[in-house]
Amino acid sequence: MTLTRRGMLKGSLWAVLLFFVMGAGVAGGVVAAYVRDLPPLDILEEYQPSLVTTLYDDQGKPFASFYEQRRILVPLDKIPRFLHEAIIAVEDSRFYQHYGLDPVGITRALWTNLNCLCLAEGGSTITQQLAKVLFFTPKKSLGRKFKEAMLVMRIERDLPKDRILELYFNQIYFGHGAYGIEAAAQTHFNKLVRDLNLAEAAMLAGLPRAPNSYSPILHPERARRRRHHALQRMVQERFITAEQAEAATKLPFTTATFAKGNNLAPYFVEYVRQYLEDKFGTYAVYHSGLQVYTTIKLKTQEAAALALRNGLQKLKKRKRVRLQTWLSFEEAPTEPPKVGETLEATVTGVTDDVLELQAGEYRGAVPLKEFTRAGLPEFHTRLEPGDQIPVRVVKRDENQIEVALELEPEIEGAFLVLDPRDGAIKAMVGGYDFQRSEFNRATQARRQPGSAFKPFVYATAFDMGMTPASIFEDSPVSYPMVIEDEIFEWTPENYDRKFRGPVTLRQGLEKSINIVAVKLIEQMGVEPVIQMARRLGIKSHLRPEFGLALGASEVSLLEMVSAYGIFATGGHRAEPYAIKKILDSKGVILEEWFAEPQLVLRPEVAFVLTHVLQGVVERGTGKQVKVLERPIAAKTGTTDKASDVWFIGYTPSLVAGVWIGYDIKRSLGPYATSSQLAVPIWIDFAQATLQGAPLEYFQVPEGVVPILANYRTGDPTTPDDPDAIQEYFIQGTEPQPTPIPVYQPLEFETRRDEPSRPTKIARPTKPSRERPSRTTPQPTTIHRSR
């Protein structure tokens, strides 16, 4: 019996042992299987995430970027120490003590969350979070959890803690398209990570747990509370003192999304993007981290965009919808908005009943029935959280403001600025609002330039030997035209329907007299004018007709502004360009632009024409520009029925042009002119851009002769002539003085007793002719009959 019991006990022990061995074998097999399925860690050593392509302005400052995941790599030693500590305090306080998995941290997080009945802390370590985003999908399963735990232990075994933390900082998502801490700093604070303060670091440290829920852009109050939690955790972990936390809490809570950088020059950014994709391909633009140094000058760009936007708003009355009163935020704004000021309000929510908005520290809700009452029942359906709409402050008291919704005008426009010396694009505004329409009216639109084309006709005339004093008859004229096999009479007219008789070419261009331009092109021929336009860089199709002199053929604003730049530089043309150089992510130059201006117009012709165009500002259709009190040459342009208005002006170092019109061609108004619509916008831009800049004068080239001439006749005159002006002629074309007879008394004429007197010089008379009457300067228009 004893032997039997012993045998049974022995057998049982062997059975248990065999069971454990078999279980261990099965477990080992399972572990081995999972280990074989684990991804290799070589990827961490060769870590090359998708990188951001960054655009820099002409001063080397970043202002826009392209990315699928907005990520900018930064080494750990460039990240402030208090940001290390903030992340560790919030996400994994025992990061430097555990080996990837932290039961103590899990227990503490569970207890904290139960106490506050919220998700204040998570149980995953920094290493676990890194493994999840690098190697696993969001799908959860027991098998994935097991793989994750094994991978975490391998990461901890193979990599030092600081390397793990560096990978985490560069990989984790911080909301609003920002991957990595550098992108997050720029997205939320428009700062480099090294420039963050403690309060900003604490706010960013609170984002990885729930980037959208704690977004300071979408949920500022929730983000503020999350920042306070991060600071308190830093105090608890003894990274900072309570006094430091309190001081950080009191710092102003403001954010400025880096995404707004693209809004500084969205049309220019898109113009550059299209070039980059054509040159390097889409993948390189969004993943390879190109460094693109552009020509844009942000101050000039801002001035152009603001002048155009304000001008278009003034040109067409905008609808306003009165909204309900908004209460201020918990903290009074440091600078309350002024009555009449326009604010950008952010949509924070859209419900069945109200539209929730926030403008700075002010928040409020607009009943949707207000939009119905205003005749805009579908307006709110186009909005979603994060969208921005302009509102104007109409009333303000101590702690609240009342605002009116500003709807956008239908009228469109474009503004373009170049440095004529090298062709660098300094500002590009392709429309009223890029979000409304991405069509770039500065480069893609082809519109009739009206009288803005006339300088090309006059340049041809001066190049062929005519002068500003050449006389043409401003009188009625008609030309037969064949349209669809039918013959019509085309009778060009002046804007004011008046005829002035004999006028000089200077008067013809300054006053924008249509008849003179048409007779000029008739005398020279259309082909020489087309050839001149081609030399000046006009590539658009130009119809061979007399109407070309009045801007009947469509061209782009970029072509026109670039061509005027040739007059500014004394005949040298530089191809317009937007990119100075392109580097790869390692700093190797892939492409570099060197301006090579070429002489395409005789300097004498360019100067004489510029001097006449200065007269447009001094006495002609652009005389409002005299307010700038500096040398400027310019030309207005208004087309038939005022469907397009232009104004292009230049100094020796800047050429800028503005176009105004509707996308679908229609009249801007029965009395609309360039002087009324385009010139004020150009002046607003110039005042902001040229204020304080030294005066620049157009240099007189060799081969140009100055002569004092009568403005009305073009004849040489004397300083005491009230109509005398300084006129310039190309050498060889200047008027030759008529031999002046010396006075000799006749024999029967009684002489005076004086022994002698100075010789009297008599100016020869010319046949009398009716002088043109002075009229109020008006821009030109095209009149074409069918």
Residue 406: what are its φ and ψ, rounded to 5°?
A: -105, 115
Dump the DSSP string for 703-759: TEEEEEEETTT--B--TT-TTEEEEEEETT-SPPPPPPPBP---TTSPPPSSS--PP
Q: 559: closest CA among 645, 657, 422?
A: 657
Cross-strand bridge partners of residue 314: none
Residue 176 to residue 172: CA distance in whole angstroms? 12
Residue 156: other Cβ atoms inside 10 A: 17
pLDDT band at 43 (very low <50, low <70, confident <90, very high): low
Residue 625 to residue 649: CA distance in whole angstroms? 9
Cα-based distances in Å from 462 to 459, 505, 548: 5, 10, 18
Residue type at position 711 = Y
Residue 184 to residue 87: CA distance in whole angstroms? 13
Q: Is residue 785 pLDDT above 90, yes or no?
A: no
Lowest mean pLDDT among 167-181, 325-339, 530-544, 759-773: 759-773
Q: Kindly name the residue from 65, 451, 470, 674 that is annotated as catalytic.
A: 451
Contact 321, 371 (CB under 8 A): yes
Which residue matches tokens 């993007």?
Answer: 273
Residue 436 to residue 243: CA distance in whole angstroms? 49
Lowest mean pLDDT among 165-169, 210-214, 762-766: 762-766
Q: Provide Rg for the chain, Cα atoms.
A: 38
* Predicted pLDDT at 216: 83
Contact 196, 189 (CB under 8 A): yes
Contact 418, 562 (CB under 8 A): yes
**DSSP letter (8 states) at residue 540:** S
How high does pLDDT run on average in the chain? 82
* Predicted pLDDT at 671: 81
Residue-wise burial string across 494-517, b where 16 or more C-beta atoms lie within 10 A, e elsewhere: bbeeebbebbbbbbbbbbbbbbbb
Q: Kindly name the residue from 85, 91, 370, 604 that is annotated as catalytic.
A: 91
Q: Is position 674 annotated as part of the catalytic site?
A: no
* Predicted pLDDT at 409: 65
User: Higher pLDDT residue, 277 or 770?
Assistant: 277
pLDDT tens, residue by residue, 476-533 = 999 988 777 788 899 999 998 999 999 999 999 999 999 999 999 999 999 999 999 9
Residue 645 to residue 780: CA distance in whole angstroms? 10
* Predicted pLDDT at 342: 76
Mean pLDDT of 603-631: 97
Model-level pTM? 0.70
* Predicted pLDDT at 542: 97
Contact 631, 695 (CB under 8 A): yes
* Predicted pLDDT at 772: 35
* DSSP-H helix ranges across 177-239: 181-189, 198-205, 220-236
Q: Is residue 145 pLDDT above 80, yes or no?
A: no
Which residues 6+ apart lie within 8 Å of 430 measured at CB? 267, 271, 414, 439, 440, 441, 442, 443, 444
* Predicted pLDDT at 762: 34
**3-class state of residue 532 by DSSP:** helix
Residue 727: what are its φ and ψ, rounded to 5°?
A: -110, 150
Residue 648: what are its φ and ψ, rounded to 5°?
A: -130, 125
**3-class state of residue 625 by DSSP:** helix
**3-class state of residue 173 by DSSP:** strand
* Predicted pLDDT at 318: 45
Please give the torsion angle defined by the CA atoms of residues 237, 238, 243 and 249, in that order, rounded to the nearest 10 degrees: -30
User: Higher pLDDT residue, 605 or 142?
Assistant: 605
Q: 208: closest CA among 118, 84, 106, 87?
A: 87
* Predicted pLDDT at 114: 62
Q: 643: closest CA among 673, 622, 683?
A: 673
Contact 473, 577 (CB under 8 A): no
What is the 3-state secondary structure of 344-412? EEEEEEECCCEEEEEECCEEEEEEHHHHHHCCCCCHHHHCCCCCEEEEEEEEECCCEEEEEEECCCCCE
Residue 562 token pair: 């670039």
Residue 517 to residue 680: CA distance in whole angstroms? 26
pLDDT band at 10 (very low <50, low <70, confident <90, very high): low
Please give the torsion angle defined by the CA atoms of residues 308, 314, 318 and 321, in that order, rounded to the nearest 10 degrees: 100
**3-class state of residue 610 by DSSP:** helix
User: Higher pLDDT residue, 730 or 119?
Assistant: 730
Residue 276: other Cβ atoms inside 10 A: 21
Residue 477 to residue 461: CA distance in whole angstroms? 20
Q: 324: closest CA among 358, 357, 352, 365?
A: 365
Lowest mean pLDDT among 205-209, 314-318, 606-610, 628-632: 314-318
Residue 120: other Cβ atoms inside 10 A: 15
* DSSP-H helix ranges across 389-493: 454-463
Residue 232 token pair: 């308190």
**DSSP letter (8 states) at residue 254:** -
Number of continuous H segments (helices) and E segments (strands) in the chain: 23, 27
Q: End-to-end CA distance of the chain: give it in Å, rounded.
A: 129
Which residues 6+ apart lie within 8 Å of 768 measured at CB? none
pLDDT band at 5 (very low <50, low <70, confident <90, very high): low
Residue 752 to residue 749: CA distance in whole angstroms? 10
pLDDT tens, residue by residue, 549-580 = 999 999 999 999 999 999 999 999 999 999 99
pLDDT band at 777 (very low <50, low <70, confident <90, very high): very low
User: Higher pLDDT residue, 154 or 2?
Assistant: 154
Q: Is residue 439 pLDDT above 50, yes or no?
A: yes
Which residues 6+ apart lie within 8 Å of 541 measured at CB? 553, 554
Q: Is residue 39 pLDDT above 80, yes or no?
A: no
**3-class state of residue 765 by DSSP:** coil
Q: Is position 91 annotated as part of the catalytic site?
A: yes
Mean pLDDT of 301-309: 96
Q: 273: closest CA among 53, 567, 532?
A: 53
